[in-house]
């Protein structure tokens, strides 16, 4: 885990928090951790019933909750929605968490173009556009925090899911750029790179899944990292180190390691 250059505990506790993908494992766990009196949670997802369930749990913990059942793939509608929320309740913590995964298929025939387009629209386009919009709004206000959920898969491209890895590398690079741009403005940006976390998405992903964590445990690590303004919240440590080495080693060595570990063929 790398520490940011301005590594100090934030003086401000966020009170207006927007989390996308709050119907999912990590998003839901984050919502419940932040839920308390004095906090308003703005939770997005596509499944109304799950959103309502998460909302009830967060309300019972004392938070005010607004839910938004929308698809993030419509970027025009997305920005209108975001502007509306931020005008009414200026967001001071944005967690760009919604995401999807695809793979090369059980016969290794390659990714489907339609799915690739959706993945890029959600994981990259929607994430960057929302973060970019809120970065400018927060900068004007002189305060705020943006957390971009990338993945350890963003360090080195895995043969079984090249587009997902590329999307998470893009999110990582964008977050690093934003953090530098906003340094000294009162707005902080953290890139979150989790390993394997129990969720529907992780379950559907082929390949080995070592050091699996619960979403609750992952959410605690993320919340702690955000409070400390850690530039890169990457975990768990051994997987973080391994993924980082894949990036540093000569490509032939990295590819061989991935082959030996079973990341080249999508067997479950
Ligand atoms: N689980 C892992 O091992 C792992 C590791 C590293 C990084 N991550 C990242 O963590 C984030 C959360 O993943 P998760 O593991 O919690 O997965 P998850 O339980 O499957 O949740 C995915 C979330 O994304 C939302 N979503 C998907 N497509 C959407 C769309 N078109 N428009 C709006 N929302 C959409 C889902 O909403 P609905 O369910 O309501 O459709 C759901 O809330 C993702 O960005 C993922 O890449 C996960």
Instruction: Sort strands 232-235 and 64-69 into parallel, antiparallel or unpaired.
Output: unpaired
Tell me the domain boundaries of the chain: 16-261
The string of pLDDT tens digits covering residues 129-148 is 999 999 999 999 999 999 99
pTM for the full predicted model: 0.95
Q: Label residue 3 by pLDDT band (50, 70, 90).
A: very low
Tell me, what's the pLDDT at 4?
Answer: 38
Supply angle C-alpha 83, 146, 4, rounded to 5.
Answer: 160
Query: What is the C-alpha separation between 23 and 231, in angstroms, rounded?
Result: 26
The string of pLDDT tens digits covering residues 71-128 is 999 988 999 999 999 999 999 999 999 999 999 998 999 999 999 999 999 999 999 9
Ranges assigned E (strand) in 47-186 = 64-69, 93-96, 144-149
Residue 172 corresponds to which tokens in the numbers above? 């990582």
Q: Which atom of ligand 1 is nearest to the CA of 73?
A: 31
Q: For a pocket test of ligand 1, which of 22, 70, 99 has the largest count of ligand atoms closer than 8 A to its C-beta? A: 99
Statement: residue 268 has pLDDT above 60? no
Tell me, what's the pLDDT at 12?
Answer: 67
CB-CB neighbours of 69 under 10 Å: 15
Question: Who lines ligand 1 at CB under 6 A?
Answer: 21, 23-27, 45-47, 71-73, 97-100, 122, 149, 151, 194, 196-197, 199-202
Span 16-261: which CATH code? 3.40.50.720
- Interval between CA 252 and ligand 1 midpoint (Å): 32
Please, are residues 176 and 221 in contact by the beta-carbon 8 Å criterion?
no
Q: For a pocket test of ligand 1, which of 19, 20, 25, 26 has the largest count of ligand atoms closer than 8 A to its C-beta? A: 26
């Amino acid at each position: 885990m790398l520490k940011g250059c301005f590594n100090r505990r934030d003086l401000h506790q966020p009170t207006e928090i927007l989390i996308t993908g709050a119907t999912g494992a990590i998003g839901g766990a984050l919502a419940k951790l932040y839920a308390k009196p004095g906090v308003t949670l703005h939770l997005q997802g596509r499944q109304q019933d799950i959103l309502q369930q998460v909302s009830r749990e967060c309300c019972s913990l004392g938070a005010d909750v607004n839910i938004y059942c929308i698809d993030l793939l419509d970027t025009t509608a997305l920005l209108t929605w975001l502007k509306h929320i931020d005008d009414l309740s200026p967001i001071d913590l944005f967690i760009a968490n919604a995401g999807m995964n695809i793979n090369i298929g059980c016969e290794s025939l390659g990714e489907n173009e339609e799915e690739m387009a959706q993945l890029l629209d959600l994981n990259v386009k929607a994430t960057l556009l929302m973060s970019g919009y809120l970065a400018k709004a927060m900068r004007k206000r002189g305060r705020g925090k943006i957390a971009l959920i990338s993945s350890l898969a963003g360090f080195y491209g895995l043969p079984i899911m090249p587009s997902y890895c590329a999307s998470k590398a893009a999110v990582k690079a964008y977050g690093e750029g934003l953090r530098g741009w906003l340094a000294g403005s009162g707005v902080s940006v953290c890139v979150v790179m989790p390993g394997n976390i129990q969720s529907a998405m992780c379950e559907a992903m082929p390949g080995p899944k070592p050091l699996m964590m619960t979403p609750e445990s992952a959410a605690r690590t993320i919340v702690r990292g955000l409070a400390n303004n850690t530039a890169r919240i990457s975990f768990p440590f051994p997987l973080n180190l391994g993924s980082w080495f894949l990036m540093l080693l000569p490509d032939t060595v990295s590819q061989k390691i991935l082959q030996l570990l079973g990341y080249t063929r999508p067997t479950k």
